[in-house]
Amino acid sequence: MSTSPTSTDAVHDDEYYFQDDLTVFMARYMLFKVHRHFLIRDSEFFRGLFACPLPPGEEAEGQSDAKPIVLYGVTVHEFRCLLRFYYDRTYRPAIDSLDDWIALLSIATRYVFDNIRDLALEEIAQRLHDPLQKILLASKYNVPHWLPLAYADLVKRPEPLSD
Protein backbone atom coordinates (compact mmCIF):
# COMPACT_ATOMS: atom_id res chain seq x y z
CA MET A 1 0.00 0.00 0.00
CA SER A 2 1.46 3.35 -1.04
CA THR A 3 1.08 6.48 0.95
CA SER A 4 0.10 9.71 -0.67
CA PRO A 5 2.58 12.58 -0.47
CA THR A 6 1.99 15.38 1.98
CA SER A 7 2.55 19.06 1.37
CA THR A 8 5.66 18.92 3.55
CA ASP A 9 7.17 16.49 1.00
CA ALA A 10 6.33 18.68 -1.95
CA VAL A 11 8.65 21.10 -3.70
CA HIS A 12 7.80 24.15 -5.78
CA ASP A 13 8.00 23.77 -9.53
CA ASP A 14 10.60 26.16 -10.96
CA GLU A 15 8.43 27.25 -13.87
CA TYR A 16 4.80 27.07 -12.73
CA TYR A 17 4.68 27.91 -9.04
CA PHE A 18 3.89 31.60 -8.99
CA GLN A 19 4.83 33.76 -6.02
CA ASP A 20 2.44 36.42 -7.14
CA ASP A 21 0.41 39.22 -5.68
CA LEU A 22 -2.15 41.34 -7.44
CA THR A 23 -0.93 44.89 -7.81
CA VAL A 24 -2.86 48.10 -8.44
CA PHE A 25 -1.58 50.38 -11.20
CA MET A 26 -2.92 53.72 -12.37
CA ALA A 27 -2.56 54.97 -15.95
CA ARG A 28 -3.98 58.47 -16.19
CA TYR A 29 -6.99 58.12 -13.87
CA MET A 30 -7.81 54.46 -14.59
CA LEU A 31 -7.01 51.79 -12.00
CA PHE A 32 -5.94 48.27 -13.00
CA LYS A 33 -5.41 45.33 -10.63
CA VAL A 34 -3.21 42.70 -12.24
CA HIS A 35 -0.63 40.00 -11.54
CA ARG A 36 3.00 41.01 -11.15
CA HIS A 37 4.38 37.79 -12.61
CA PHE A 38 4.62 38.79 -16.29
CA LEU A 39 5.83 42.28 -15.47
CA ILE A 40 8.65 40.97 -13.28
CA ARG A 41 9.54 38.18 -15.70
CA ASP A 42 9.71 40.33 -18.82
CA SER A 43 10.73 43.83 -17.70
CA GLU A 44 14.01 44.86 -16.16
CA PHE A 45 12.27 48.00 -14.91
CA PHE A 46 9.52 46.15 -13.03
CA ARG A 47 11.93 43.50 -11.77
CA GLY A 48 13.92 46.28 -10.12
CA LEU A 49 10.81 48.09 -8.89
CA PHE A 50 9.40 45.08 -7.07
CA ALA A 51 12.81 44.05 -5.68
CA CYS A 52 13.22 47.30 -3.71
CA PRO A 53 12.97 46.70 0.03
CA LEU A 54 10.34 48.59 1.97
CA PRO A 55 10.94 50.45 5.24
CA PRO A 56 9.33 48.63 8.21
CA GLY A 57 5.68 49.49 8.74
CA GLU A 58 5.24 51.22 5.38
CA GLU A 59 2.59 50.08 2.90
CA ALA A 60 4.00 49.38 -0.54
CA GLU A 61 2.62 51.20 -3.54
CA GLY A 62 0.26 48.99 -5.49
CA GLN A 63 -1.28 47.25 -2.49
CA SER A 64 -4.53 49.20 -2.60
CA ASP A 65 -6.63 51.52 -4.75
CA ALA A 66 -5.67 54.34 -2.39
CA LYS A 67 -1.96 53.87 -3.12
CA PRO A 68 -1.54 52.59 -6.70
CA ILE A 69 1.68 52.44 -8.66
CA VAL A 70 1.28 55.45 -10.93
CA LEU A 71 2.48 54.91 -14.50
CA TYR A 72 3.36 58.50 -15.40
CA GLY A 73 3.11 59.26 -19.10
CA VAL A 74 1.41 55.95 -19.91
CA THR A 75 -1.97 56.15 -21.59
CA VAL A 76 -4.84 53.87 -20.67
CA HIS A 77 -4.68 52.50 -24.23
CA GLU A 78 -0.96 51.62 -23.92
CA PHE A 79 -1.40 49.80 -20.61
CA ARG A 80 -4.48 47.97 -21.89
CA CYS A 81 -2.51 46.82 -24.93
CA LEU A 82 0.22 45.46 -22.67
CA LEU A 83 -2.32 43.64 -20.51
CA ARG A 84 -4.20 42.38 -23.56
CA PHE A 85 -0.90 41.01 -24.86
CA TYR A 86 -0.54 38.91 -21.71
CA TYR A 87 -4.10 38.04 -20.77
CA ASP A 88 -6.10 37.80 -24.01
CA ARG A 89 -4.03 35.97 -26.57
CA THR A 90 -5.23 32.43 -25.91
CA TYR A 91 -8.38 32.53 -28.01
CA ARG A 92 -7.84 35.44 -30.38
CA PRO A 93 -5.02 37.69 -31.47
CA ALA A 94 -4.46 40.01 -28.53
CA ILE A 95 -3.17 42.90 -30.61
CA ASP A 96 -4.57 43.28 -34.09
CA SER A 97 -4.37 46.90 -35.24
CA LEU A 98 -1.37 49.00 -36.19
CA ASP A 99 -2.34 51.59 -33.55
CA ASP A 100 -2.37 48.88 -30.87
CA TRP A 101 1.07 47.61 -31.94
CA ILE A 102 2.43 51.17 -31.80
CA ALA A 103 0.93 51.62 -28.30
CA LEU A 104 2.52 48.31 -27.26
CA LEU A 105 5.86 49.46 -28.72
CA SER A 106 5.61 52.67 -26.71
CA ILE A 107 5.07 51.02 -23.33
CA ALA A 108 7.48 48.16 -24.09
CA THR A 109 10.21 50.67 -24.91
CA ARG A 110 9.50 52.83 -21.86
CA TYR A 111 9.46 49.94 -19.37
CA VAL A 112 12.18 47.77 -20.95
CA PHE A 113 10.10 44.81 -22.17
CA ASP A 114 12.78 43.90 -24.73
CA ASN A 115 11.12 40.79 -26.21
CA ILE A 116 7.75 42.52 -26.55
CA ARG A 117 9.46 45.52 -28.13
CA ASP A 118 11.15 43.25 -30.69
CA LEU A 119 7.85 41.56 -31.52
CA ALA A 120 6.07 44.92 -31.83
CA LEU A 121 8.80 46.18 -34.17
CA GLU A 122 8.39 43.09 -36.39
CA GLU A 123 4.61 43.49 -36.54
CA ILE A 124 4.77 47.22 -37.23
CA ALA A 125 7.38 46.72 -39.97
CA GLN A 126 5.04 44.26 -41.71
CA ARG A 127 1.97 46.49 -41.40
CA LEU A 128 3.34 49.99 -41.88
CA HIS A 129 3.70 51.10 -45.49
CA ASP A 130 3.94 54.89 -45.10
CA PRO A 131 7.66 55.79 -45.21
CA LEU A 132 7.14 59.12 -43.45
CA GLN A 133 5.37 57.48 -40.52
CA LYS A 134 8.09 54.82 -40.40
CA ILE A 135 10.76 57.56 -40.20
CA LEU A 136 8.89 59.30 -37.38
CA LEU A 137 8.48 56.05 -35.43
CA ALA A 138 12.12 55.09 -36.03
CA SER A 139 13.22 58.42 -34.59
CA LYS A 140 10.84 58.31 -31.63
CA TYR A 141 11.57 54.69 -30.62
CA ASN A 142 15.24 54.44 -31.64
CA VAL A 143 14.94 52.05 -34.59
CA PRO A 144 17.82 53.23 -36.82
CA HIS A 145 17.78 50.18 -39.10
CA TRP A 146 14.37 51.28 -40.47
CA LEU A 147 15.71 54.61 -41.68
CA PRO A 148 17.69 53.81 -44.89
CA LEU A 149 14.83 51.95 -46.58
CA ALA A 150 12.21 54.41 -45.30
CA TYR A 151 14.17 57.40 -46.68
CA ALA A 152 14.66 55.59 -49.99
CA ASP A 153 10.92 54.84 -50.18
CA LEU A 154 10.12 58.44 -49.28
CA VAL A 155 12.15 59.95 -52.12
CA LYS A 156 10.72 57.43 -54.62
CA ARG A 157 7.08 58.09 -53.84
CA PRO A 158 5.16 60.13 -56.42
CA GLU A 159 3.24 62.41 -54.04
CA PRO A 160 4.97 65.46 -52.52
CA LEU A 161 5.60 65.84 -48.78
CA SER A 162 3.28 68.83 -48.61
CA ASP A 163 1.20 70.99 -50.90
Per-residue pLDDT of the chain (163 residues; tens, 9 = 90+): 556 666 677 887 777 777 778 899 999 999 999 999 999 999 999 999 998 888 888 888 998 899 999 999 999 999 999 999 988 876 666 788 999 999 999 999 999 999 999 999 999 999 999 999 999 999 999 999 999 999 998 888 888 777 5
Q: Hey, where are the domains in the chain? A: 22-127, 128-163
Q: What is the pTM of this model?
A: 0.81
Q: Give me the helices (H) in the chain, please.
A: 37-42, 44-51, 76-87, 98-110, 114-127, 131-140, 147-156
CATH number of 22-127: 3.30.710.10
